[in-house]
């Protein structure tokens, strides 16, 4: 557990920006990431007590434009300082990050200047529309992308999770400079951001320099608003078939879980229990998976995934199959009677494997920072997550699987070969 002995310092820079510094002695590189509470699911901010709505895809569009400096790209600035810079927008947050060996302070200042004082222009916004529209258009040619978004649009309908993170062509074209500037003013505030740094460095010197020299934007009159959106009480469809440029049938099942939790800790405890349960049922060592492959009902590309956040809980299974009806029946039968797959020996093996993977992820600077960023808004640390994993019981796992079965709203989307015309 050597990798878990992390010396962490939390300070407020100029009493406005939270800085978490995770000391990693012996590491040559430094990894830094600043995160803002705006993602693909956010749709509104507050101005003078009124809600102002903006198009889907705005968070992703704004992420692109923060790298613009009056028509030029700012990545060269970081390259000159020996850093690799990047950014990503998820459904729930936008993060900007870099990895560097030297010049930590200079790169931190450049990163904060990039996010707090973007220099994009009206011309740049108009040019970006074409770039992002191309990105959107290319996704429309991918049959598996279409299958996935058909699943989300049907499961979530008018909820923001039904929309693409980059928006659609109409929303992209509707974006303009004043809208993006206002969104930036509302969501890119030091008070709601978290800067996390991991590496071997002089934290006291860095904090002193930032407190003395860092320029932060003035406090804004606009306020970020949380994600909102009602889940449809029932599904209009439980099975869809869509044609695509594929040579065989591909089955995709989405399981929407409508669950309420007492707090963030209870939500993550459930997530960890369900994760172990799904691994016990569906990982590559599962007798059920081996049997399904021997019968030819699923191929070796069978996969599963779990997403669980305050607003969204979703399990997805996918596979190529010659008989989607038989595959669906086999899955339902397994969920109704998991039987011997949930035995104590298998549970202990899977629990240890998941704990090991979690600890291994903390060996990298990036893994440490990304984990810390994911949990920080909920007031949790990796120590809390490790404790939850250590305390997991087989009873917790069976309860989580039962709760999934009881609350699930399932949709099957089958991608079928397009018929020649």
Quote the pLDDT of residue 6.
Answer: 67
Determine the Cα–Cα distance for residues 314 and 311; give it in Å rounded to an integer: 10
CB atoms within 10 A of CB 383: 11
Token pair of 63 as six digits: 């992420």
Q: What is the pTM of this model?
A: 0.92
- pLDDT attached to residue 3: 45
* DSSP assignments along 242-304, one per residue: EEES-SS-EEEEEEEE----SSHHHHHHHHHHHHHHHHHHHSTT-HHHHHHHHTTSS-TT-EE
**In contact, 184 and 115? CB cutoff 8 Å:** no
Q: How big is the CA angle at 145 (ends 144 and 148), to the nearest 5 degrees?
A: 85
Spatial distance between the Cα atoms of 89 and 229, rounded to a whole number of angstroms: 19
CB 378 within 8 A of CB 264: yes
Report the C-alpha gap between 295 and 171 in whole angstroms.
Answer: 46
Q: What pLDDT score does 323 carry?
A: 96
Same fold, 2-224 and 239-417: yes
Alpha-carbon dihedral angle through residues 150, 152, 153, 157, given to the nearest 10 degrees: 160
Instruction: For residue 57, give the nearest of 153, 229, 180, 152 by alpha carbon.
Output: 180
pLDDT digits (tens, 9 = 90+) for 96-110: 999 999 899 999 999
Residue pair 372/20 in contact (Cβ under 8 Å)? The answer is yes
What are the sequence ranges of the domains in the chain? Answer: 2-224, 239-417
Contact at 8 Å (CB) between 121 and 157?
no
Distance of CA 6 to the CA centre of its chain: 24
| 10-residue stretch averages of pLDDT, the chain, 421 residues long | 66 97 91 96 96 96 90 80 94 95 93 95 93 92 95 94 93 96 97 95 93 94 92 93 95 95 93 97 94 95 92 94 96 91 95 93 88 86 90 97 93 92 47
SS3 for 351? helix
Query: Rg of the chain's alpha carbons, rounded to an integer?
Result: 23
Predicted confidence at residue 421, as pLDDT, reads 47
Provide the CA 399 distance to its chain's centre, in angstroms.
25
* Residue 323: CA count within 13 A, CB half-sphere: 11
Return the CATH number of 2-224, one of 3.40.190.10, 3.30.830.10, 3.40.50.740, 3.40.50.1580.
Answer: 3.30.830.10
Rounded distance between C-alpha atoms, residue 366 and residue 344, angstroms: 34
What's the confidence (pLDDT) of residue 268? 94
How many C-beta atoms surround the C-beta of residue 326 within 10 A? 15
- Take residue 170 and report the two structure tokens written for it: 């109409």
Do the beta carbons of residue 117 and residue 190 sit within 8 Å?
A: no
- pLDDT at position 68, please? 86
> What CA–CA distances, in Å, run from 416 to 151, 239, 248, 264, 320?
15, 13, 6, 40, 10
CB within 8 A of 114, min separation 6: which ones? 66, 67, 74, 96
Strand order in the sheet with 30-36: 7-13, 17-23, 194-199, 30-36, 94-100, 83-89
Considering the segment(s) 239-417 as one domain, its CATH architecture is 2-Layer Sandwich (3.30)
Residue 293, CA distances (Å) to 254, 299, 322 in order: 21, 6, 11
């Amino acid at each position: 557990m050597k990798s878990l002995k992390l010396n962490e310092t939390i300070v407020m820079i100029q009493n406005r920006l939270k800085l978490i510094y995770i000391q990693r002695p012996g590491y040559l590189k430094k990894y830094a990431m600043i995160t803002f509470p705006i993602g693909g699911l956010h749709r509104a901010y507050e101005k003078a007590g009124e809600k102002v709505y903006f198009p889907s895809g705005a968070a992703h569009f704004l992420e692109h434009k923060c790298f613009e400096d009056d028509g030029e790209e700012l990545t060269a600035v970081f390259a000159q300082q020996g850093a690799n810079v990047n950014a990503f927008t998820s459904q729930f947050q936008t993060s900007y990050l870099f990895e560097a060996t030297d010049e930590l302070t200079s790169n931190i200042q450049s990163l904060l200047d990039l996010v707090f004082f973007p220099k994009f222009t009206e011309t740049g916004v108009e040019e970006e529309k074409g770039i992002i529209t191309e990105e959107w258009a290319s996704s429309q040619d991918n049959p598996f992308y279409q299958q996935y978004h058909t699943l989300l649009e049907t499961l979530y309908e008018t909820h923001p999770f039904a929309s693409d993170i980059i928006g659609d062509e109409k929303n992209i074209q509707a974006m303009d400079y004043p809208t993006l500037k206002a969104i930036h003013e509302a969501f890119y505030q030091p008070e709601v951001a978290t800067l996390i740094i991991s590496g071997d460095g002089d934290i006291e010197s860095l904090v002193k320099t930032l407190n003395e020299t860092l320029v932060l934007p003035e406090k804004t009159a606009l306020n970020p608003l949380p994600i909102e959106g009602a889940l449809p009480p029932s599904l209009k469809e439980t099975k869809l078939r869509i044609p695509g440029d594929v040579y065989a049938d591909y089955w995709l099942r989405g399981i929407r879980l409508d669950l309420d939790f007492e707090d963030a800790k209870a939500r993550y405890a459930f997530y960890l229990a369900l994760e172990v349960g799904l691994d016990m049922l569906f990982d590559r060592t599962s007798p059920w998976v081996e049997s399904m492959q021997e019968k030819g009902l699923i191929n070796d590309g069978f996969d599963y995934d779990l997403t669980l956040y305050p607003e969204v809980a979703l399990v997805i299974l996918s596979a190529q199959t010659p008989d989607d009806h038989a595959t669906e029946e086999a899955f339902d039968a397994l969920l109704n009677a998991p039987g011997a797959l949930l035995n104590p020996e298998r549970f202990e093996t899977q629990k240890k494997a998941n704990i090991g993977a979690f600890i291994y992820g903390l060996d990298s600077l990036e893994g440490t920072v990304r984990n810390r960023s994911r949990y920080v808004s909920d007031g949790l640390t990796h120590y809390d997550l490790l404790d939850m994993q250590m305390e997991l019981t087989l009873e917790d796992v069976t309860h989580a699987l039962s709760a999934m079965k009881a609350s699930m709203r399932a949709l099957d989307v089958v991608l079928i070969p397009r018929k020649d015309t």
